[in-house]
Chains A and B, each alone.
Chain A
Amino acid sequence: MEGGRYFGDGLTYLNPSDLKGKLVAIEGTDGVGRSTHIESLQEWLEIQGYGVVTTGWTRSNLMSKTIEMAKQGNILDRWSFSLLYATDFADRLEHQVIPALRSGFIVLADRYIYTAFARDLVRSGDRKWIRDVFGFALIPDLVCYLRIDVDTLALRVIESNGMNYWESGMDLRLGTDLYDSFKKYQGLLIEEFDKMAEEFQFEVIDARKSPDDIQDELRTKIQSMLAAEKSLNAVVP
């Protein structure tokens, strides 16, 4: 991190310049195996001697139950929907991510603000508001995007857990049944992720490959980010 930077307006009461750790975000749609890969990455990094903290979407102490409840009610409007996630994110950022970075940990984030950007865009067609809202977020040192095409994704999700209401974006009424809706919704999300991959310079990893190949690629990206940091530190004593 070496002087973290905020995505937008930032937290005025918190100077990010003393954050020593590294923030790595793993992004991608549902069903690309993010959590499994993060577990393996943590193991691999810890063996090398790095302190690792993981943080996951909707897993804050404050909000996880509220979000579950709200989802069950299916009564969310676009703004409440996005703001609930933003609150969850802020809680984790201030209580988990920033303290860990300050102590020099590597933070592996399962999903990051880009997930919220994609979901809000699909619901509203507007990019500005949601990016303003998340202006308090830290810019990650590395964003790895596990990219998959929607046909492969559909097969994979049916084979594993099956499609659910929210993964299919049923609140948007994009299709007549779960399958049609899933494909349209996830297709739109992937389209937006692809655009953001260019805009925010994600490292794109082909998630159709075998889990071992994906893990190797992730490790290569993280390794080179850590190496670049070390050489930078060598120049500036």
Chain B
Amino acid sequence: MSDSVPASHQPHPYPGKLIIVEGIDGSGKSTQLLLLQKWLESREHKVFFTEWNSSELVRDTTKKGKKNKSLTPTTFSLLHATDFASRLFHEILPPLKAGMVVLADRYMYTAFARDVVRGVSPSWIRKLYSFAIRPDLAFYFNVPIDVAVSRLLGGTRANLKFYEAGMDMGFCQDINESFRIFQSRILTEYDKIVPEFDLTVMDATKDIETQQSEMRQVVEKALVNYKTKRGTHGRRTLFWRRFDLPKSE
């Protein structure tokens, strides 16, 4: 535990594979991850899905803090780290140790981008997450802010939420404009994170199916020496019933 190089910078020692997606809201990353999951499952891989800020441990607290707007940049950040720690321990590590493919919708890089824009120290947030394991593959869905905004306002999520739009930052009273400013700053942070952690950049302006085909090629390469777990074929119900199915954006 007291190694000088944190776990978050070293390859993990487990037989499974961890694949994560990152990107701002409206980048289409969740859609791509869902399609990847379909493909992996069709190829008989045992897949486990987990998403940002979804653990029961802190869900109610985050909701409460958001509702009465009492969250500060630091408590906001710590709550997400608690959620992440809990999911890492209970959801990500067990399937990885069992040799499964774990798909994560957002990972620590989301905190590195978003929490820093909210105002926490970039070095503190990296130390906070030093217990995280490094993914085998990390995709970043790069999209210009205008495309993301038009996707979100045009259909998939017409009503932006207070925190999603960074309204807590007091950039602007207009929620759509606030969203634009907030997400643009997050994009700037992602631009620093991509080289720092060697994320695989995807052009998220391309067609859904074009992106998916590129993504599958990259994953295929990464899984070359990976042995599929087939032991529980057809009998995954017991393990799965306890978890929610993935939701698309």
Instruction: Name A's B-contacting residues (CB within 8 A).
Output: 8-13, 61-63, 65-66, 70, 75, 77, 79-80, 83-84, 86-87, 90-91, 94-95, 124-129, 132-133, 135-136
A-B contact pairs, 23 of them (CB 8 A): A11-B120, A12-B120, A65-B61, A66-B57, A77-B85, A77-B86, A77-B90, A79-B82, A79-B88, A80-B86, A87-B78, A87-B79, A87-B82, A90-B74, A94-B72, A94-B74, A95-B72, A125-B2, A129-B1, A129-B127, A129-B130, A135-B124, A136-B74
Number of A-B contacts (CB under 8 A): 91
Enumerate chain B residues within 8 angstroms of A86, measured Cβ to Cβ. 78
Enumerate chain B residues within 8 angstroms of A13, measured Cβ to Cβ. 73, 119
Is B70 close to A, CB under 8 A? yes
Is B239 close to A, CB under 8 A? no
Interface class of chain B by DSSP: helix
Enumerate chain B residues within 8 angstroms of A84, measured Cβ to Cβ. 57-58, 82
Question: Do A126 and B2 contact each other (CB < 8 Å), given the known contacts A11-B74, A12-B120, A90-B75?
Answer: yes
4 closest A-B pairs by beta carbon, nearest first, are A79-B85, A9-B124, A126-B1, A132-B127
Q: Tell me how far the C-beta of A172 lies from the nearest C-beta in chain B, rounded to whole angstroms.
A: 15
B121 A124 Cβ-Cβ under 8 A: no
Is B243 close to A, CB under 8 A? no
Interface size range on B against A: 20 to 34
Is B246 close to A, CB under 8 A? no
Is B208 close to A, CB under 8 A? no
A124 B1 Cβ-Cβ under 8 A: yes
Question: Do A80 and B89 contact each other (CB < 8 Å), given the known contacts A12-B119, A66-B58?
Answer: yes
B2 A128 Cβ-Cβ under 8 A: yes
Q: Which residue of A lies closest to B81 (CB)?
A: A83
A135 B127 Cβ-Cβ under 8 A: yes
B78 A83 Cβ-Cβ under 8 A: yes
Is B123 close to A, CB under 8 A? yes
Give the complex CA separation of A91 and B85 in angstroms. 19
Q: Mark B55-99, 1 if CB is under 8 A from A, else 0.
A: 001101100110000111111001101100110111000000000
Q: Tell me how far the C-beta of A136 lies from the nearest C-beta in chain B, rounded to whole angstroms.
A: 6
Give the complex CA separation of A95 and B70 in angstroms. 9
A94 B75 Cβ-Cβ under 8 A: yes
Enumerate chain A residues within 8 angstroms of B72, measured Cβ to Cβ. 90-91, 94-95
Is B128 close to A, CB under 8 A? yes
Enumerate chain A residues within 8 angstroms of B81, measured Cβ to Cβ. 83
B75 A62 Cβ-Cβ under 8 A: yes
Is B14 close to A, CB under 8 A? no
Q: Mark B130-155, 1 if CB is under 8 A from A, else 0.
A: 11000000000000000000000000
Enumerate chain A residues within 8 angstroms of B130, measured Cβ to Cβ. 129, 132
Give the complex CA separation of A87 and B88 in angstroms. 18
Give the complex CA separation of A62 and B88 in angstroms. 23
Partner of B82, one of A80, A127, A135: A80
Give the complex CA separation of A8 and B2 in angstroms. 18
Q: Which of B218-234 contact A (CB under 8 A)?
A: none
Q: Which residue of B lies closest to A135 (CB)?
A: B124
Q: Tell me how far the C-beta of A77 lies from the nearest C-beta in chain B, rounded to whole angstroms.
A: 4
A62 B74 Cβ-Cβ under 8 A: no
Partner of B131, one of A8, A62, A66, A129: A129
Q: Tell me how far the C-beta of B66 lies from the nearest C-beta in chain A, rounded to whole angstroms.
A: 11
Partner of B128, one of A62, A77, A132: A132
Enumerate chain B residues within 8 angstroms of A80, measured Cβ to Cβ. 57, 82, 85-86, 89
B1 A125 Cβ-Cβ under 8 A: yes
Give the complex CA separation of A77 and B81 in angstroms. 13
Max chain B Cβ within 10 angstroms of own Cβ: one of A8, A70, A87, A127: A87
B127 A133 Cβ-Cβ under 8 A: yes
Give the complex CA separation of A76 and B215 in angstroms. 36
Q: Which residue of B lies closest to A125 (CB)?
A: B1
Give the complex CA separation of A91 and B127 in angstroms. 20
Q: Tell me how far the C-beta of A13 lies from the nearest C-beta in chain B, rounded to whole angstroms.
A: 4
B124 A136 Cβ-Cβ under 8 A: yes
Enumerate chain A residues within 8 angstroms of B82, measured Cβ to Cβ. 79-80, 83-84, 87
Give the complex CA separation of A12 and B72 in angstroms. 12
Give the complex CA separation of A86 and B60 in angstroms. 17
Partner of B57, one of A70, A129, A136: A70
Question: Do A12 and B121 contact each other (CB < 8 Å), given the known contacts A79-B85, A80-B85?
Answer: yes
